[in-house]
Amino acid sequence: MTISTRKQLALYVLLLQMFGISALAQTEKTLFHMHGIPQSTGYNPAKQLDHKVSLSLPGISSVYASIYQGGSYNKVVEKNRDNENIASIPGIIKAFKKNPQVTSSSSVDILGVYINTKKVNFNVFVRERVETFAKSPQAILEVIQKGNTHVDYLGKTISIEPKMGFIHWREFAVGGAYSLSEKLTLGANVKVLFGIGHIRTNLHSSIYTENTDNYPVTFTSGGIAQTSGIINLIDDDIDAEDYFANFGNPGFAIDLGATYQLTDKIQLEASILDIGRIQWKSNLQEFRLGDINGNDRTLTFDALNLATLVNEEQDSEAFEALADSLEKVYTFIQKKDDGEEPSSYSTGLPVRTHLAMSYELTKGFTTGAIFSAIYYKGVFQPGFGINIRKDISRWVGLAASYSIYPHSYTNMGLGVNFNLGPVQLYAVSDQMISGAFGYRDSRSLSARVGLNLVFGHKMAIEKRKERNSLNGN
């Protein structure tokens, strides 16, 4: 790792401490009840799909990405004197003080086979997934907003304990569902995991501004950040292909789900997903906020303006001096003194739960409601949505949804799938309307698109049976 890279990392870690953001992926409320799309079983393994056989193809059957942030683009970005986009410090502080969250998630299906019969379902799939996580310390936002020379902070220690992380894994799953009766179906997936990249932190910092001339600011930092695989992406000597080919971090997880047909028209659903852990063993690195023995370190600046850390027009020499100082605070450890890597560690996955109900208004026309929740590293993030789904024919299905999340109440989604013979094309978004017409003012954006191969639509099979019955066959 070059010295310049080390300085960049030191600055990045400090910025994360001050502007840490919370990130967890939310459930797609539009996709949840679209039984014509096999990827909907990703939210409940007990679901019954509309086709007897569905195939997901490498890289094109499901590409998903989402972002959920405390402030919209127009509130956190502004133009400078050269008409260039730069971060708006007042906008960021205002937005993230009220709602210090940003959700970032993505997944890609590598392969999938889904087989449905009347009583037993079977599936096998391989999927690439990325989740990010962090939690903003509210205190630092208040300090930046008022200024560290404000009377509320002079001569006082402001504690900062950020939580942040990143997890990238590949899952190989085998599962299915079994109908115990005409009303109750239970489902499960058993997943072998391979961790690709990871960041976890156990950090603590504090800021102390002296009530003297020049108001010197003292940073005290301690704790540790552990990573696996990340060094592959930031080291110029290692190709990114080595990162994605990493199978040295094994893990295991299960998904559990159930459906219950309460009446002929009402169905209830429940699921809990990603119960498991990954053991991180390969390409390990430690970043210590302090010395190698775990002791806290301090760094003092005279008249420090925190806004210069993210201001494009800052003085380059001052910025370089700051980076030099920070590099002395953060100790980077890739190998121990004896040449061995840092100790391995294990982590859990973000656990997701769902409770849902659907009501069939008429044949092929359904409305429903979903409550979802995600729990990870002490952060609980709920969500609620309602949706409608209409199977216009065996060739076309439509869906719409309205969902709410903390501090985000304008999420209106649309979904469509076209079955062109055995080829299924689909596109789904929980923010289709707000994203298409006002993405710069939207806090949430998400989209999933893909192409599957599907065979044996149940509607077509039922019609064929009816014709055969009328013909006496």
Give per-residue pLDDT as tens, 363-377: 889 999 999 998 877
Query: 463: how many CB neighbours lie within 10 A of its CB?
Result: 12
Q: Which residues contact 369 (CB under 8 A, 6 or more apart)?
A: 356, 357, 384, 385, 386, 387
Q: How much is the mean pLDDT over the chain?
A: 77
What domains, with CATH codes, occur in the chain?
3-470 (2.40.160)
Beta bridge pairs of residue 267 = 261, 358
Report the pLDDT value the prediction gives residue 235, as an integer from 0 to 100. Answer: 55
Residue 399 or residue 308, greater confidence: 399
The residue-averaged pLDDT of 202-217 equals 76
Asked if residue 293 has pLDDT above 60, the reply is yes
Instruction: Say which residues have a Cβ less than 8 Å from residue 124's Cβ, sequence separation at least 6.
Output: 112, 113, 173, 174, 175
Mean pLDDT of 30-35: 89
pLDDT for 232-250, tens place per residue?
555 555 566 777 888 889 9
What pLDDT does residue 4 have? 46
pLDDT, tens digit (0-9, with 9 covering 90-100), for 40-89: 999 999 998 988 999 999 889 988 877 666 555 556 666 667 676 665 65
Q: pLDDT > 70: what percent of the chain? A: 66
Place of tokens 């996709």: 31
In this model, does residue 117 exceed pLDDT 70? yes
Task: Measure the CA angle with vertex 457, ends 370 and 420; round to 5°.
Answer: 100
Q: Which amino acid is at 434?
A: S
Pairing mode, strands 120-135 and 85-87: unpaired
pLDDT reported for residue 393 = 83
More confident position, 467 or 268: 268
Instruction: Please report the pLDDT score of residue 387 as a whole number.
Output: 93
pLDDT (mean) for 261-278: 95
Please say if the pLDDT value at position 14 is more than 60: no
Q: What SS3 string covers 410-421?
A: EEEEEEEEEEEC
The arithmetic mean of pLDDT across residues 205-209, rounded, is 78
18 — pLDDT class (breaks 50, 70, 90): very low
Number of Cβ within a 10 Å radius of residue 442: 22
Structure-model confidence comparison of residues 279 and 240, the more confident one:
279
Beta bridge partners of 189: 175, 255
Residue 142 near residue 11 (C-beta atoms within 8 A):
no
The pLDDT of residue 410: 77
pTM exceeding the 0.85 threshold for the entire prediction: no
CB under 8 Å to 262, separation ≥6 — which residues?
A: 183, 268
Tell me the mean pLDDT in the region 424-439.
75
Max mean pLDDT among 137-141, 208-212, 221-225, 385-389 falls in 385-389
User: What average pLDDT score do residues 343-350 get?
Assistant: 88
**Helix intervals (H) in 258-330:** 316-329
Burial 162-201 (b: 16+ CB within 10 A, else e): bbbbbbbbbbebebbbebeeeeebbbbbebebebbbbbbb
